[in-house]
Structure 1
Amino acid sequence: MTRFLLLATVLLLSPALMAQQIQRQLGDFDFKLGTSASRTMAQGLISPGAIGAFHGGVDLTHADGWYIGQYAPSMGLTPTSSLQLDSYFGYKQRFDDSLGYEVGLIHYSHPTLADRDSYALYGGLTWLGSRLGGAFNDKPANRTGTLFADFGQLPMVDVGLTLKLAYHQLGTPYALSNGGQVNSFNDWSLKLSRPWFGMDLDLIYSNSNLSGGGCDAYSGMNTYCDSMVTFKAQRSFF
């Protein structure tokens, strides 16, 4: 599977491919190949692609609702990055045209690093183009509960809105220099996104309830512990 993903990502980076996503119907299966995560609930919970890193993935969905996929936020092709693979499988079904549900499992792996693998159970609802979900991630160093909401493109302004909120319980309390300790912390993020002339523009606000020396214990979903506003412009190779 790893070799297949590596080959698939090389194909993704080929300048001859000029579509944002390759999609094929293979019998009862829907096959997707792209530089971003698939349309499943897992899209809001897998690790985002690192800035400046090569990333991509595959997704295979059966007509009955079962699916399996793998996404690499980083292929580890640069000296400052390491290989990471997020593998997932799950089941999704719709009650009607406006309401559906989804459950699944994600395996986060770092083949070149020891003792970094972890798993997450996730589930959620889709309703009128919005996705509301949650996940529980049992990591070696901490346990994390995540709530996720993707409201899709907001009417009138044509801007996508995504929210994440996570609670982290440390396996071992982190001792601070002032004699205190950190047993748990929260972090969150808000993302506004909009396509513009072939690019994906993201404006992201992230923060946590840690500050000062407490940030030494931070190992959450955001890049930084403190309040941060990030602007990102990304254009797919194809």
Structure 2
Amino acid sequence: MNKTIFSKTLLATSLVACTSLAQAEFSANMALTSDYVFRGFSQSSEDPAVQGGFDYTHKNGFYAGVWASNVSSDMYNGSGIEADLYAGFSNELASGLSYDVGLIRYSYPGSSPKTDYEEIYAGLSYKFFSVKYYTGVDLGNEALGDYLDAGLEFDLPQGMGLALHIGNWNSKAAGGDYTDYKVGLSKEIKGFGFELAYTDTDVDNDPLANGRVVLTISKAM
């Protein structure tokens, strides 16, 4: 390549890279929770969990990230770690109205047989209300089920927040349908997020789906 052309190309590439970085944002998060509860079920067999992740967001609405937590190895065929990879687009459609679409992969390294699976999701939020729909397949493209998530978030006095959630899992397997609920109070204190939540389901035959109080302390960076 001609040296002059190479220099111009390098300069152009550098300018594009700098512009891209200026429009992008990297962040990290960490959390300690008394019980890792996902869709109403304890994933850590009612034990504490340490969690953390990294996120990339771009001005155009694209985002991607990774998140991990310890889980019960008995539940995930010998794997004690959940590692999630996700990517999607989120933007505002109108004042107060926004959308979110993406793909998430739930991985459990070392599980045998494999318990990894993926979900495609799409959601809308308007001011304090949000709704999101997930549909999942495993690595063999076998349909797992659908999950509908709806929530309300309110600001309370003294800088506190109230979150209400209801979700419904519609399993492709017979007898696997259930509904879960969550009520949470949150507050930021000296840069740390504190949430005290109560979760429950309508599942009667699994102690990991019973009602429970969960305390989570988090930090965003």
Which bin holds the TM-score, normalised by the shorter protein?
Answer: 0.5 to 0.7
2:50 corresponds to which residue?
Answer: 54
Counterparts of 1:99 and 1:199 in 2: how far apart (Å)?
26
Deviations 1:5-53 (A, max 9, x none): xxxxxxxxxxxxxxxxxxxx932211111115xxxxxxx98x9985522
Q: What is the aligned partner in structure 1 of residue 186 from structure 2?
A: 194
Are 2:208 and 1:224 aligned? yes
- Asked if structure 2 preserves the Cα contact closer than 8 Å seen for 1:192 and 1:203, the reply is yes
2:162 matched to 1:160? yes
Tell me which of 96, 99, 119 is aligned to 2:97: 99
Partner-residue secondary structure (3-state), 1:184: coil
Please tell me whether the aligned partners of residues 153 and 161 of structure 1 are also in contact (alpha carbons under 8 angstroms).
yes
1:143 and 2:144 are equivalent in the alignment: yes
Q: What is the TM-score with the length of structure 1 in the denominator? A: 0.63
Structure 1 segment 1-238 matched on structure 2, within 5 A: 26-35=21-30, 50=44, 51-74=47-70, 82-114=80-112, 115-139=114-138, 143-155=144-156, 158-169=160-171, 171=173, 183-195=175-187, 197=189, 198=192, 200-208=194-202, 210-211=203-204, 215=205, 224-226=208-210, 228-234=211-217, 236=219
The AA in structure 1 aligned to 2:176 is S
- CA–CA distance in structure 1, aligned partners of residues 79 and 194 of structure 2: 23
Decide which structure has the larger Cα Rg and report it: 2
Identical aligned pairs, as a percentage?
17
Amino acid corresponding to residue 144 of structure 1 in structure 2: G
Secondary structure of residue in 1 paired with 2:50: coil
1:201-231 CA distances to partner (integer Å, 9 max, x unpaired)?
32213122x42xxx2xx5xxxx7234x1314
Structure 2: gaps (5+ residues): 1-19, 32-37, 73-77
Report the AA paired with residue 145 of structure 1. Answer: D
Shift of the alpha carbon at 1:234?
Answer: 2.6
Question: Structure 1 residue 73: deviation in Å?
Answer: 2.2
- List per-residue Cα deviations over 1:113-136 (Å, max 9, x = no partner): 131100111111121144321211
Whether the aligned pair in 1 keeps the contact of 2:25 and 2:58 (CA below 8 Å) is yes
Q: Which residue of 2 aligns with 1:179?
A: none
Change (3 A) 1:109 1:96: same
Q: Deviations over 1:177-223 (max 9, x none)?
A: xxxxxx33213121212226455132213122x42xxx2xx5xxxx7
* 2:94 counterpart SS class: coil
Does the Cα contact within 8 Å between 1:194 and 1:200 map onto a contact in 2? yes
Instruction: Number of aligned residue pairs: give it.
Output: 182
Alpha-carbon distance between aligned partners in 2 of 1:95 and 1:207, rounded to the nearest angstrom: 33
**Structure with higher RCO (Cα < 8 A, 6+ apart):** 2
Shift of 1:142: 7.0
